[in-house]
């Protein structure tokens, strides 16, 4: 996959549309800039889509389900079979993210990108590239061809969402061991020590956390990923879920659909996409700061500002879904609020 060519194919932000959206925000009968980061998001969406006429519906959550070979019992306290169980719950609209998405007015799509075992659930689609990645303690997680296939699948999912008329997407994931792969990638991409970026995931004990950090150190030492080559880092240390979400962010920029970053794993995928194709940043919106140590580091490196600070670590895209109603409220002001002119006043000011 030629990422330079892919980057060049991504539309540049429409500065004019963004300026018109900002003008609209400044004319609304409220203190200028008083919606803070939410205003920045609306302007960014206008620039991405090429229109100041904004709509955030219909919307969808794309959940990439995959297992990781590194999910050994002394690292992951959650049984590896839980990936398939939760993925099937998503397909049946029964999981955590499904309950939240119903409130937020979003449709949930779950995909088997590479779970250990295939599911008979017909509504759980996906390429099933392999039955999990390889154990990064002994070599690369996946081949370059497998990594490219997962990225290409993520891009194709966005094209499908475009055809369905979606105006907002959220990234989600399900896979035991993916905080380990994400922390390993983060350590390399940000050139940080493993101790600094590794968290407890689903609730590791002190002993298991130390083992997790040691595993990440061993994986980096064995695979020797190039920190200046995001694809090399992804294929050696990442997972099919991260690769597919990376493709979603690339697809968002290609097809001009805003994409909400969820937590740690999603942010690692977003940074990978940014490093591969800098123009992909045009579609990226932050939702919340993950409770994992690397969460804020990744968002700072990407250059996006989160709104929700709730120490969430539920996964599945739930943090991104939580952001949707907040965005709806900002959009209601943008679309429906009277202007200073409407109420017979001169605009502006911060009073």
Q: Which two tokens stand for residue 127?
A: 């390429």
Active site residue: 146, 148, 292, 316, which one? Answer: 316
Residue 248 has φ and ψ, to the nearest 5°, of -65, -40
Beta strands in 167-256 (DSSP E): 168-174
Residue 216 has φ and ψ, to the nearest 5°, of -65, -40
Cα–Cα distance between 330 and 113 in angstroms, integer? Answer: 34
- For the chain, the maximum distance between any two Cα atoms, rounded to a whole number of angstroms, is 70
- φ/ψ bin of 156: left (φ > 0), alpha (ψ from -120 to 50), beta (otherwise): alpha
Q: Report CA Rg, the chain.
A: 20
Catalytic-residue membership of 173: no
**Beta-strand pair 106-114/59-66:** parallel
Cα–Cα distance between 22 and 51 in angstroms, integer? Answer: 12
Element (H or E) spanning 260, and its range? strand 259-261
Say if residues 310 and 88 touch (Cβ distance below 8 Å).
Answer: no
Q: Which residues make beta-bridge pairs with 260?
A: 170, 285
Say if residues 291 and 313 touch (Cβ distance below 8 Å).
Answer: yes
Sign of the Cα torsion 129, 132, 136, 138 reads: negative
Residues catalogued as catalytic: 316
């Amino acid at each position: 996959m030629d990422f330079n060519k892919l980057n060049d194919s991504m539309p540049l932000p429409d500065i004019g549309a963004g300026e018109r959206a900002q003008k609209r925000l400044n004319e609304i009968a409220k203190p200028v800039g008083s919606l803070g980061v939410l205003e920045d998001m609306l302007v960014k969406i206008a620039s991405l889509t090429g229109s100041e006429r904004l709509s955030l519906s219909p919307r969808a959550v794309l959940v990439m389900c995959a297992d990781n070979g590194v999910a050994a019992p002394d690292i992951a306290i959650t049984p590896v079979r839980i990936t398939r169980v939760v993925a099937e719950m998503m397909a049946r609209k029964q999981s955590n993210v499904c309950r939240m998405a119903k409130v937020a007015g979003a449709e949930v799509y779950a995909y088997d990108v590479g779970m250990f075992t295939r599911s008979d659930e017909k509504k759980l689609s996906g390429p099933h590239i392999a039955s999990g990645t390889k154990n990064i303690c002994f070599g690369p997680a996946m081949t370059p061809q497998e990594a490219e296939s997962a990225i290409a699948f993520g891009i194709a999912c966005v094209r499908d969402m475009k055809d369905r008329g979606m105006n907002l997407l959220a990234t989600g994931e399900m896979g035991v061991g993916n905080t380990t792969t994400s922390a390993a990638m983060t350590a390399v991409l940000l050139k940080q020590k493993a101790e600094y970026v590794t968290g407890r995931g689903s609730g590791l004990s002190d002993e298991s956390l130390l083992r997790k950090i040691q595993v990440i150190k061993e994986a980096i030492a064995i695979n020797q990923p190039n920190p200046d080559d995001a694809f090399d880092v992804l294929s050696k240390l990442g997972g099919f879920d991260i690769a597919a979400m990376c493709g979603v962010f690339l697809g968002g920029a290609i097809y001009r659909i805003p994409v909400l970053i969820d937590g740690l794993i999603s942010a690692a995928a977003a940074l990978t996409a940014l490093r591969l194709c800098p123009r992909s940043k045009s579609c990226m919106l932050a939702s919340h700061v993950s409770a994992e140590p690397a969460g804020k580091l990744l968002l700072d490196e990407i250059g996006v500002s989160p709104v929700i600070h709730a120490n969430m670590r539920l996964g599945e895209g739930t943090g991104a879904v939580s952001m949707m109603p907040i965005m709806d409220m900002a959009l209601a002001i943008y679309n429906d609020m009277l202007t200073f002119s409407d109420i017979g006043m001169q605009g502006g000011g911060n009073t």
